[in-house]
């Protein structure tokens, strides 16, 4: 299928960006034969931003020679087919190239920095769940007709950048929320606090862990921006970089609104929805779809339809996260239950429950919510009381209904956006899965105690923010 092209593309392909190296000697060198007494080292990343595409099973897809046909044994279409078989693995391969380069440069700068901070950023990113955002990016590009060699390589690198951006968002989010678990493991600031326990008084090591987490998130964001800047994007460059820039600012704006609402005790439903839209819905679904459409050179109508679909599904995605925070299974969410309640997050779920309790003059329900929201010492029994109120006021069922309606509306936008294809079917399945529940019991009229937190080191799907 031919790409869905814009009628008047205005972006001009930039010159490839030369990659900085750890060495101060930038002169070209001939490739040396590998000595038998030294282990094989992976190839350095291509300075033009072309990825060595490998699936999780190690199968190498042909890379582009810059002319639209694949180098080596296959064409760009064949490379795209290879990635189709294992998108998460191929993105992981591109990410490994990026991380190997960045870690080498960090090590040349300072060994302690490389081991203690850069290494933790790399490990956190490598352990990044299902890579949902980069899969949305990939299948959006494929659904819009993209698939030549340069587009495949560039899309995988932008997928790697999305994973690094996710690392920044999660590390900072965990720090601001004071969360102890992420993906079933200690959060980065908690891990560093434990690593240096005994080196100084507890309050100083805690502060060190928090400050280091700020730096870790900043480092992940810097690496993500580097990847985008250094990738040869061709005609898509101007659009991709504009979407990327908007996405970063939206995330910060949404997080600020979330923190401001938490501080002021805001229970405004419109403000809760606005914060959720900016903080999570856009960068989790809508922007990855827009980036994929831009990579394929999709026309304005197609891009607008995909963005409308992503906006609706993204909001449903975040509302599902609000429900899963209270009713979810930590073994599936990868984090403990009730953090939003204990932190006093201005979620739509909490705002709706309070509004319903006030409208019916349900004083016991209002008392439970007012005492629980923002109570960092809330017990499991207290959280059970909140669950009961959320069910009894009908807030849980109302949010479930809103999720269903948003998801259905999003899929209607999506179904009219693209011609039928395997890529469209895969993308539709991802959008449908984004709003699925990870509760211990999906029946809204049933309240069950939260299960115990997952054991340290257990695997968990990628969690939502």
Q: For residue 129, what pLDDT is reported?
A: 76
Burial 67-81 (b: 16+ CB within 10 A, else e): eebbbeebbbbbbbe
**And the tokens for 220?**
């992940």
Can you count the helices (H) and strands (E) in the chain?
A: 19, 4
Torsion (CA) 214, 113, 118, 28 in degrees, nearest 10: 130
Comparing CA positions, the residue from 184, 55, 45 lying closest to residue 128 is 184
Residue whose structure tokens are 């972006």: 11
**And the tokens for 296?**
């394929």
182, β-bridge pairs? 185
Q: What angle do CA 80, 244, 175 make, to 5 degrees?
A: 110
Q: What share of the chain is helix, strand, coil (3-state, %, to 5)?
A: 60, 5, 35
Residue 70 three-state SS: strand
What sign does the CA torsion over 349, 351, 357, 363 have?
positive
DSSP string, 149-208: HHHHHHHHHHHHHHHHHHHHHHHHHHHHHT-SEETTEE-HHHHHHHHTTTSS-HHHHHHH
Q: For residue 101, what pLDDT is reported?
A: 97
Rounded Cα distance, 377 and 387, in Å? 16
Count other Cβ atoms within 10 Å, centred on residue 105. 17
Comparing CA positions, the residue from 455, 462, 454, 412 lying closest to residue 434 is 462
Residues 6+ apart with CB under 8 A from 84: 142, 422, 423
CA distances from 306 to 243, 250, 403, 414 (A): 14, 18, 18, 6
**And the tokens for 275?**
């914060």
Q: For residue 54, what pLDDT is reported?
A: 45
Rg of the chain in Å (alpha carbons): 23
Q: For residue 440, what pLDDT is reported?
A: 56
End-to-end CA distance of the chain: 36
DSSP string, 372-432: HTT-TT--HHHHHHHHHHHHHTTHHHHHHHHHHHHHHHHHHHHHTTS-S-HHHHHHHHHHH
- pLDDT tens, position by position, for the chain (465 residues)? 444 444 333 333 333 333 333 333 333 333 333 433 433 343 333 433 444 444 443 444 434 333 333 333 345 666 999 999 999 999 999 999 999 999 999 999 999 999 999 999 999 999 877 899 999 999 999 999 999 999 999 999 999 999 999 999 989 988 888 777 676 688 888 888 888 888 888 889 899 999 999 999 999 999 999 999 999 999 999 999 999 999 999 999 999 999 999 999 989 999 999 999 998 889 999 999 999 999 999 999 999 999 999 999 999 999 999 999 999 887 776 667 898 999 899 999 999 999 999 999 999 999 999 999 999 999 999 999 999 999 999 999 999 999 999 999 999 999 999 999 999 999 999 999 999 887 655 433 343 333 333 333 333 334 444
439, β-bridge pairs? 328
Rounded Cα distance, 271 and 276, in Å? 9
| Cα 4 from chain centroid (whole Å) | 27
Total-model pTM: 0.79
**And the tokens for 214?**
């700020």
In this structure, are strands 60-61 and 185-186 parallel, antiparallel, or unpaired?
unpaired
């Amino acid at each position: 299928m031919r790409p869905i092209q814009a009628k008047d593309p205005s972006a001009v392909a930039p010159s490839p960006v030369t990659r900085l190296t750890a060495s101060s000697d930038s002169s070209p060198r001939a490739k040396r034969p590998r000595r038998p007494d030294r282990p094989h080292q992976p190839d350095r990343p291509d300075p033009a931003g072309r990825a060595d595409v490998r699936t999780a099973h190690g199968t190498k897809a042909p890379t582009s020679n810059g002319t639209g046909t694949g180098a080596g044994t296959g064409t760009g279409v064949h490379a795209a087919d290879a990635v189709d078989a294992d998108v998460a693995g191929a993105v992981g391969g591109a990410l490994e190239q990026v991380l190997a380069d960045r870690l080498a440069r960090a090590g040349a700068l300072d060994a302690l920095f490389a081991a203690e901070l850069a290494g933790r950023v790399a490990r956190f990113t490598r352990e990044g769940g299902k890579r949902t955002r980069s899969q949305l990016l990939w299948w959006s590009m494929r659904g819009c007709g993209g698939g030549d060699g340069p587009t495949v390589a560039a899309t995988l690198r932008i997928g790697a950048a999305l994973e690094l951006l996710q690392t920044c968002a999660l590390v900072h989010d965990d720090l601001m929320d004071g969360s102890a678990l992420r993906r079933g493991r200690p959060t980065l600031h908690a891990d560093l606090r434990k690593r240096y326990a005994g080196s100084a008084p507890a309050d100083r090591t805690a502060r060190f862990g928090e400050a280091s987490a700020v730096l870790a998130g900043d480092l992940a964001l810097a690496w993500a921006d580097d990847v985008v800047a250094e990738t040869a994007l061709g005609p898509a460059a101007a659009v991709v970089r504009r979407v990327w820039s908007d996405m970063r600012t939206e995330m910060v704006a949404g997080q600020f609104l979330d923190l401001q609402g938490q501080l002021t005790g805001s229970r405004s439903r419109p403000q809760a929805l606005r914060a959720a839209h900016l903080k999570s819905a856009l960068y989790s679904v809508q922007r990855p779809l827009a980036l994929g459409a831009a990579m394929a050179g999709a026309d304005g109508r197609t891009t607008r339809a995909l963005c409308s679909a992503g906006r609706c599904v993204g909001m449903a995605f975040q509302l599902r996260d609000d429900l899963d925070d209270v009713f979810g299974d930590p073994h599936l969410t990868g984090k403990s239950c009730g953090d939003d309640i204990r932190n006093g997050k201005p979620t739509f779920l909490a705002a709706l429950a309070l509004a319903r309790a006030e409208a019916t003059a349900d004083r016991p329900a209002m008392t439970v919510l007012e005492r629980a929201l923002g109570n960092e010492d809330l017990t499991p029994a207290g959280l059970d009381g909140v669950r009961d109120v959320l069910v009894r006021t009908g807030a849980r069922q109302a949010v479930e209904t809103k999720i269903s309606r948003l998801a259905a509306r999003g899929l209607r936008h999506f179904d009219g956006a693209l011609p039928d294809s395997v890529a469209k079917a895969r993308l539709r399945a991802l959008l449908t899965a984004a709003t699925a529940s990870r509760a211990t019991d999906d029946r809204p009229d049933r309240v069950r105690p939260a299960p115990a937190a997952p054991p340290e080191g257990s695997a968990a799907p990628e969690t939502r923010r």
